[in-house]
């Protein structure tokens, strides 16, 4: 029995070594970029988090975004204070922990994609993915920016690993839904993953003749996601007098990125509407579709 487990033990030792190397690289980049100034979006997120802590109120940015990242920054500030370098360090640690998640995800994916291959194939695939993630300078540099990408990638890796597990329990299906809901509150672009994941689970369940289990997993995924997103949607509805599921980013970017007049001209029109986010969402959707 111990002999059978040795390859797995060696695999985890290798993953731990890659994680340690990833930490060294990220700490080096963190130190090197210490005096890099904050970009526009970074400064807005940080100011939003500080306002939340100082004034106990949530203030929307000029272009409405999901709420989870400023809440994450606010919670981090409570723990490590508001020094930018300390906040960057927390993100460097999150980026480091993403490496074993990516390795585990790649191993699980290889097992599912090529079940006829020996177990060593999946282990090597996981190590290769972990190696690429550990030495990826872009990931290390992104961790020094107070933006959503680092946290989003960690959550996305964890979500995909859960989704790909061959024998997913109902409890883990609910947890996957909660994680997906959190990702949507971090970047609303994650929302299409809800129907895609539900559909993928159902197709696999039908093929395996486990239809009831597939429907149960899909329902729990939907429930978990709704439990995370629902309160924010209710808040938006009460605040703005209409349904804004998470934010207006999708609608506004549709207009901003497609109007030949240019982004600044479109921003001026959006800002002229003031805090009427519902009207801005409707107008941006209409104008964005019209100019495509």
Query: Domain spans of the chain?
Result: 1-162, 167-238, 248-292
Stretch 270-284: mean pLDDT, rounded?
A: 92
pTM score, whole prediction: 0.93
pLDDT number for residue 3:
54
Distance CA 101, CA 153 (A): 10
Place of tokens 């904050």: 38
pLDDT number for residue 1:
46
Residue % of the chain over a pLDDT of 70:
99
pLDDT number for residue 157:
98
Confidence of residue 168 (pLDDT cuts 50, 70, 90): confident
Distance CA 83, CA 12 (A): 35
Are 162 and 175 within 8 A, CB to CB? Answer: yes
pLDDT at 290 over 60: yes
In this predicted model, what pLDDT tens digit does every residue of 50-104 receive, in sequence order?
A: 999 999 999 999 889 999 999 999 999 999 998 999 999 999 999 999 999 999 9
Question: pLDDT: is 178 or 165 the higher one?
Answer: 178
């Amino acid at each position: 029995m111990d002999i059978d487990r040795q390859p797995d033990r060696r695999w985890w030792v290798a993953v731990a070594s890659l994680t340690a190397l990833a930490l060294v690289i990220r700490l080096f980049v963190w130190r090197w970029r210490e005096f890099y100034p904050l970009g526009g979006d970074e400064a807005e997120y940080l100011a939003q988090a500080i306002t939340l802590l100082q004034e106990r109120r949530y203030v929307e940015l000029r272009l409405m975004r999901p709420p989870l990242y400023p809440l994450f920054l606010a919670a981090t500030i409570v723990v490590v204070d508001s020094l930018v370098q300390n906040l960057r360090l927390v993100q460097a640690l999150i980026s480091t922990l993403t490496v074993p998640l990516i390795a585990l995800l790649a191993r699980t994916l290889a097992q599912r994609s090529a079940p006829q291959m020996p177990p060593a194939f999946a282990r090597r695939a996981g190590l290769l993915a972990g190696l690429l993630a550990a030495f990826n300078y872009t990931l290390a540099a992104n961790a020094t920016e107070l933006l959503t990408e680092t946290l989003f990638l960690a959550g996305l890796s964890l979500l995909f690993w859960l989704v790909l597990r061959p024998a997913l329990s109902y409890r883990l299906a609910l947890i996957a839904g909660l994680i997906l809901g959190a990702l949507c509150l971090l970047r609303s672009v994650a929302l299409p993953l809800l129907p895609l994941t539900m559909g993928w689970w159902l197709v696999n369940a039908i093929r395996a003749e486990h239809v009831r289990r597939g429907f149960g997993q899909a329902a729990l995924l939907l429930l978990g996601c709704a439990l995370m997103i629902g309160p924010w949607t209710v808040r938006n509805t009460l605040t703005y007098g209409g349904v804004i599921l998470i934010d207006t980013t999708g609608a506004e970017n549709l207009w901003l990125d497609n109007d030949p007049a240019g982004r600044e001209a479109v921003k001026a029109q959006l800002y002229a509407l003031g805090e009427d986010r519902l009207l801005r969402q409707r107008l941006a959707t209409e104008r964005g579709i019209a100019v495509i």
